[in-house]
Structure 1
Amino acid sequence: MKTRFKIHKTIGLVMLFVLALTSCTDDLNIVPNDDQTTLSEDLFNDEAAYKQVLAGVYANLALTGTDGGGSSNLKNIDAGTSQFGRVLLYVQTLSADQMIWSYENDPGTREIQRNLWTAQNPLLLGMFSRAHLSIALANNFLRETTDAKLDSRNVSTSVRNEIPAYRAEARLMRAMAYYYMMDIFGKANFVTEDDALNSQPPVYGRAELFSFIESELLAIDSDLVNSRQNEYGRADKAVAYMILAKMYLNAQVYVGTDRNADCLSYCEKIIGGGYSLATNYLHNFMADNNTNSATNEIIFPIISDGFTTQNFGPTTVMINGSVGSIEVNGAEVGVGAGGWGGALRVRKQFVELFDGSFADDTRNTIISEGRPIDINDISDKDSGYIIQKYSNATSTGGFGVDQTFVDTDFPLFRLADVYLMYAEAHLRGGGGSASTALGYVNALRTRANNSNMITAAGLTLDFILDERSRELHWEAHRRQDLIRYNKFTGGNYNWAWKGNGSNGISLPAHFDVYPIPTASMAANPNLTQNTGY
């Protein structure tokens, strides 16, 4: 069992959230106004509850309910279509050029991977609702930890001394949820702890969300724990810096402003926080990535535990799903021999990024023998190559505790991404040092056992985009990257099954943001549909 921030202690608390949601959401079907969860005053008679309720905010990233991986605390939304990391993976990776899901009868997957989505897609509803539940849980924690509330409960000095850091973490988790809403949907219901319960929330667009997230993350800096000094699985300064760096790198998309200099500055802050690359690339994706050398690299994980936090999250999906239908190689990666029968494969364009000098590159986990590279029929699980990046095996030769629900944490943010962001921001005119940028890229190549070092002439923006795919594939970044490079919509770059064409076709520009789910608009009349849908 993993030693980490114990989100499993909040199971009973999450049940309170479920009861509260169920009791007051009949008219809205999902989180009412996305901010109506309430907590019992009796809960805080035990001062340990403050940390446990904070853990509940984190738990929403991993858990979907209290009765195992198949339960959901979002009314009328299935657990499989609303686990935060899983739907994030779908909207950011399955929609792009790296991944194919074989079983298109699974709700919403066909439309996402063929770029045919509509406002009725259940995966989009899951993403919208789960992010807003994070906001609701954070807001409630903040309401319950004001000075007035703490005074009324006569909270001890020792606990009160912890509250500023707890509140900063809750605000960070709320800011992160708004960041994903800004990126994926371009707008969000906007609620803070200062808003009255049961009020109809206003809607913030990208410019307003950008301003709020930036101001929040800057405001909480002094109260956050220093980088790498918090419990594993809890946020610290580096997590806030990571969100800021990503916002600034994509600021031209979000608000039409070049913020590459700020991106580079925050990359430097993260790098200066004491992180280092894992000694082995694959350590980042193994069952003991909370204790092996990956702890030096992972900045923020979504926790997965095959015993205490069972869920159908991204690592469970990817490890079981990437077991080949021909290879039946599940025993090698610590799940059932057949896994999920070839559910996941990779698209041709991703495979081609590993042509040439990548045969011994440890990032190249492609399995191709006996398989055609092309996927002419998505339901044919024997066509297309598979990969074995994620594993439920440990770096010491063991395996996770369960053969379905894996122990492998999902590395939402890690240092390798920061290295590549630094290089890209430098190339986009953000300053910094050319030799430093080159050194960071080649450090990744050295770690990957690839002797093909990049020269200054080879360090171009197009190279960085390809290298980001080689380094960060299946980590929920690709859609965002392609949009920033103007290669997601339009016809500048087509991949297999883009736009439902077997060889790829152009996508309309409005597909750079997803539609607002119909059910979410019904819940809040202030929400309007994105242009083009």
Structure 2
Amino acid sequence: MKKIFLLLAIIYSVSACTDLDIDPHSKLTDDTAYKEKNEFLNGLAAVYTTLGEWSEIVYKAGASSDEMIFPARGGDWKGHLQAIHSHAWDADNDELRGRYTGISNIIAVSNAFIDAVDNSAFKNDADIQVIRSEARFVRAFAYFLMVDMFGNVPLVTSSVYDANNPPKQNSRAEIYKFVEDELKELSTAALPETSVYGRVNKYTAKTLLAKLYLNAEVYLGTGNAKWQEVATLTQEIMTGSDYVLEDDFKKVFAWDNFNSKEIIFAMVCNSSYNSPENISYLFSIGDLRAKYGSFASGWNGASVLPTFYRSYDDANDVRLEAFVVGPQFDTQGNPIIQTDDSGVNRQLTYTIDYLGADPVNNADHWDGGRGGKYLMDGIGGTMIERGLNNDMPILRYADVLMMRAEALFRIDPSSAEALTLVNQVRTRNGHNPVYTLPSLTADVLLAERGREFAWEGWRRNDQIRFDKWGIAWDFKTVSDAKYKLFPIPQVQIDSNPNLKQNDGY
């Protein structure tokens, strides 16, 4: 079943709005569309393809955390990503504007499709109602991202747009309530118990709802904890769903990870098409064609921060293979010889530490270990274009176990089940040859989440929840509390008089 459904989207052209307050002119609402029932799968596939924004969030927003950095390397990568690492961004930051636009596009395309369903002759068909519910989930996920990253945004649930009455701004709490209500309904009645790979079901909604509740105090303020709700939801997923923790960590990220029983929700990718694209290696590595094959010539950008890399506390941890470090060799075991920044031909070596005097603004091109999570078993499948065939997990069963462990720990720091669950994920049911943790603290739990979910888009979220966001880390000083939220892009403020900027910007 690999990607057959979602790849239908490629033949379905979508031209949708990219901002919450711009009219979404889309073929999803074309009068010639949806005259036959089978057309709705094409429209839904177009909704799912908007999740291509996730790769940008993983890297561009992820660069604000302590797990990675996009340093300027001479004239390469010089721009707004350095401000993201340093927590010195403002409302004109191009990268953050891009994330707001990308998430807005998910919402707009979802709205257009939902409206198309509601205006069709099939609106009461049971199968089409399930498809409509899937689009609602994708929209709820996008609004979850808005709650998490931008906070106070317009709540737009229709593709109808009145230029004379741009959307009103809603509070973070109001957006939170919308997401909560949607996911509660979707997880109980609207979505099916099971689904084919690439499509969501009731347990997908339960998992995202657990993630929302996990961060309730961040979104709603101290005193609004939902730890018991997280514990209940995760138990329901563990006992009711068919998802499992893979014994082999690499299987979750391999080119054929569509076979993984751990992935609950993914950005489905295929190198044959332009969107969505898994271009993880392009973001990070340089020229490693001699090691991985003809496609592995990347942009030499994102690299892991030294302290984060060294947070892996056991050298036997298979998860360390998610990073490419040290001297590099070709497929025959011969050293890969390239020219370094000083013009010297020598073996390509990715150093853990940064050797340049200004690691943020003028790093050496070989500084920093590179992201290789989707390369742990090499490049697989039939590569046609620049993207990898590997799907990018967004929610996976390991996180269900870790969320339950955290909730139990927050309720009772001495919880034996919490420690057991963390060690279950850490050791991969005994198949990852690392020592078991003897006890849990908040710092240990955060560190273990970092090791498990490195470069998967959740580190910023975790650091804020564990109150480690404003502290100093590699090449970053202590930062102001305002940076827990990104600013509303200034272009949005300028185009909609109803919008007010987030505090401090």
TM-score by length of 2: 0.85
Give 1:231 shift.
2.0
Is the Cα contact below 8 Å between 1:34 and 1:133 reproduced in 2? no
Tell me the distance in 2 between the aligned counterparts of 1:384 and 1:156.
53
> How far does the alpha carbon of each residue in 1:33-83 deviate from its partner, in whole angstroms, 9 at most, with x for none?
145334111112233221211111111112xxxxxxxxxxxxxxxxxxxxx
Tell me the SS of whatever aligns to 2:12.
helix
Q: What does residue 37 of structure 1 align with?
A: 25
User: Do structure 1's residue 120 and structure 2's residue 92 form an aligned pair?
Assistant: yes
Write the letter of the residue equivalent to 1:496. Answer: D
User: Do structure 1's residue 383 and structure 2's residue 367 form an aligned pair?
Assistant: yes
User: Do structure 1's residue 262 and structure 2's residue 229 form an aligned pair?
Assistant: yes
Alpha-carbon spacing, 1:398–1:207, altered in 2? closer, same or farther (3 Å): closer
Tell me the distance in 1 between the aligned counterparts of 2:178 and 2:85.
32
Q: Find 1:414's aligned residue among 388, 396, 403.
A: 396
Tell me the SS of whatever aligns to 2:145.
helix
* Corresponding pairs, count: 466
Tell me the SS of whatever aligns to 1:275.
coil
User: Do structure 1's residue 485 and structure 2's residue 466 form an aligned pair?
Assistant: yes
User: Do structure 1's residue 529 and structure 2's residue 501 form an aligned pair?
Assistant: yes
Q: Map of 1:126-165 to 2, 5 A cutoff?
A: 126-146=98-118, 149-150=119-120, 153=121, 155=122, 160-165=125-130
Percent identical among aligned pairs is: 30
Q: What does residue 428 of structure 1 align with?
A: 410
Q: What does residue 339 of structure 2 align with?
A: none
Q: What does residue 99 of structure 1 align with?
A: 68
Q: What does residue 181 of structure 2 align with?
A: 215
Is the Cα contact below 8 Å between 1:34 and 1:129 reproduced in 2? no
User: Do structure 1's residue 453 and structure 2's residue 421 form an aligned pair?
Assistant: no
Q: What does residue 353 of structure 2 align with?
A: 374
Tell me the SS of whatever aligns to 1:528.
coil
Alpha-carbon spacing, 1:5–1:244, altered in 2? closer, same or farther (3 Å): farther
Q: What does residue 495 of structure 1 align with?
A: 473
Q: What does residue 205 of structure 2 align with?
A: 240
Write the letter of the residue equivalent to 1:480. Answer: N
Is the Cα contact below 8 Å between 1:302 and 1:409 reproduced in 2? yes
Give 1:250 shift.
0.7
Write the letter of the residue equivalent to 1:271. Answer: M
Tell me the SS of whatever aligns to 1:364.
helix
Give 1:330 shift.
4.1
Q: What does residue 320 of structure 1 align with?
A: 282
Give 1:200 shift.
1.6
Tell me the distance in 1 between the aligned counterparts of 2:290 and 2:197.
28
Is the Cα contact below 8 Å between 2:130 and 2:192 reproduced in 1? no
User: Do structure 1's residue 289 and structure 2's residue 257 form an aligned pair?
Assistant: yes
Alpha-carbon spacing, 1:445–1:11, altered in 2? closer, same or farther (3 Å): closer
Write the letter of the residue equivalent to 1:212. Answer: F
Is the Cα contact below 8 Å between 2:487 and 2:502 reproduced in 1? yes
Tell me the SS of whatever aligns to 1:299.
strand
Alpha-carbon spacing, 1:92–1:346, altered in 2? closer, same or farther (3 Å): same
Tell me the distance in 2 between the aligned counterparts of 1:247 and 1:260.
11
> How far does the alpha carbon of each residue in 1:285-315 deviate from its partner, in whole angstroms, 9 at most, with x for none?
1211112xxx21011010110003455x4x3
User: Which deviates the most, 32-41 or 245-254?
Assistant: 32-41
Tell me the distance in 1 between the aligned counterparts of 2:275 and 2:20.
27
Q: Structure 2 stretches of 5 or more lacking a match?
A: 328-348
Is the Cα contact below 8 Å between 1:304 and 1:410 reproduced in 2? yes
Q: What does residue 352 of structure 1 align with?
A: 310
> How far does the alpha carbon of each residue in 1:307-355 deviate from its partner, in whole angstroms, 9 at most, with x for none?
03455x4x31x223443x5xx5445445535x22632321111122124
> How far does the alpha carbon of each residue in 1:469-512 deviate from its partner, in whole angstroms, 9 at most, with x for none?
100000000111111111111x3xx21122xxxxxx11011011
Tell me the distance in 1 between the aligned counterparts of 2:152 and 2:425.
35
Q: Find 1:362's aligned residue among 318, 340, 345.
A: 318
Tell me the SS of whatever aligns to 2:21.
helix
Is the Cα contact below 8 Å between 1:401 and 1:407 reproduced in 2? yes
Tell me the distance in 2 between the aligned counterparts of 1:249 and 1:225.
22
Q: Find 1:86's aligned residue among 22, 47, 55.
A: 55
Is the Cα contact below 8 Å between 2:77 and 2:301 reproduced in 1? no
Q: Structure 1 stretches of 5 or more lacking a match?
A: 22-29, 63-83, 499-504
Alpha-carbon spacing, 1:270–1:161, altered in 2? closer, same or farther (3 Å): same
Q: What is the aligned-residue RMSD (CA, Å)?
A: 2.6
Alpha-carbon spacing, 1:353–1:188, altered in 2? closer, same or farther (3 Å): same
Give 1:144 shift.
1.9
Alpha-carbon spacing, 1:403–1:138, altered in 2? closer, same or farther (3 Å): closer
Tell me the SS of whatever aligns to 2:59.
helix
> How far does the alpha carbon of each residue in 1:232-283 deviate from its partner, in whole angstroms, 9 at most, with x for none?
1111112211221111111111102111111111111222212111231011
Tell me the distance in 2 between the aligned counterparts of 1:250 and 1:109.
26
Is the Cα contact below 8 Å between 2:60 and 2:81 reproduced in 1? no
Q: What does residue 65 of structure 1 align with?
A: none
TM-score by length of 1: 0.81
Write the letter of the residue equivalent to 2:449. Answer: R
Is the Cα contact below 8 Å between 2:295 and 2:386 reproduced in 1? yes
Tell me the distance in 1 between the aligned counterparts of 2:11 and 2:271.
19
Give 1:436 shift.
2.7
Give 1:224 shift.
3.9
Tell me the SS of whatever aligns to 1:300.
strand
Give 1:169 shift.
1.0
Tell me the distance in 1 between the aligned counterparts of 2:388 and 2:60.
22
Is the Cα contact below 8 Å between 1:35 and 1:191 reproduced in 2? no
Give 1:107 shift.
4.7
Is the Cα contact below 8 Å between 1:232 and 1:290 reproduced in 2? yes
